[in-house]
Amino acid sequence: MEVEKARCECCGFTEECTPAYIAAVRAEYLGRWVCGLCAEAVGDEIRREDGTLTTAEALDRHVAFARAPRARPRKAAAAAPDDLVAAVARLLRRCLDSPPASPAAPAPPQGRKVADAADA
């Protein structure tokens, strides 16, 4: 099957598509090629505005959003890895400290008799 590399104008994602698919997307998005994810986001944008937004406006809006400096979610993104590492470390430590409870753990009943006798 003949495929071409198409690059999303919004997020820069490249995808291998058939020329027919590329042409169809271009026709729908004013000559621009957008990946499926961005196409969906653009569609959402239009729906959110009750159809008053043109495809071009929605595209521009999404491009601006996609290209905006990723400062907004940065704080959360920076915090997440540490939390994740800590969580994994905690999990590992817990596994190492206490091996899964096994049925062999309870003390053998024989020992108890001896202890009782010693107490009495």
Nearer to Zn ion among residue 7 and residue 72 (C-beta) = 7
Fill in the amino acid letter for 83.
D
Least distance (Å) from Zn ion to the CB of residue 82? 29
Least distance (Å) from Zn ion to the CB of residue 28? 14
Nearer to Zn ion among residue 11 and residue 53 (C-beta) = 11
List 17, 25, 38, 42, residue binding Zn ion (CB under 5 A): 38
List 6, 8, 46, 63, residue binding Zn ion (CB under 5 A): 8
Nearer to Zn ion among residue 37 and residue 80 (C-beta) = 37
97 is written with which tokens?
């400290």
d(CA 107, CA 81): 42
Query: 10: closest CA among 51, 45, 30, 39?
Result: 39
Nearer to Zn ion among residue 69 and residue 100 (C-beta) = 69
Q: How far is CA 112 from the centre of its chain?
A: 55
List 10, 17, 42, 63, residue binding Zn ion (CB under 5 A): 10
Angle (CA) 55-61-63 rounded to 5° is: 100
The residues with which 17 forms a beta bridge, in sequence order, are 4
Site of interaction with Zn ion (CB under 5 A):
8, 10-11, 13, 35, 38
